[in-house]
Amino acid sequence: MSVHKDITLHAQKQNEQFTEFSLLDQKREEYIQEAVELCKADMDFSTDSINQITMQINALANERFIPARKMVTTEMVRTYVGTLA
């Protein structure tokens, strides 16, 4: 019985971590989209909020088989926006 409980607890923890990753990844994408929209409008923007979330995702990635994310620079955003024109 103990093995079944251990497996269940392990599965629950993995599910919680994946859920946390999914929420963080979604928030990161929202921040990226905000930066892209500001850049398109030729307004000042920062990637600080994107990278703060990225660090949280990468901390999870170190613990599990969760894909790590790259840090984002303002130049990356500008380059991306330049490809949309």
pLDDT at 71: 96
Give every residue of the chain whose pLDDT is below 70, as ranges.
1
Instruction: Identify the burial level of 72 via C-beta atoms within 10 angstroms of its C-beta, where 0-12 means exposed, 13-18 middle and 19 or more buried.
Output: buried
d(CA 32, CA 15): 26
d(CA 60, CA 65): 9
pLDDT at 29: 97
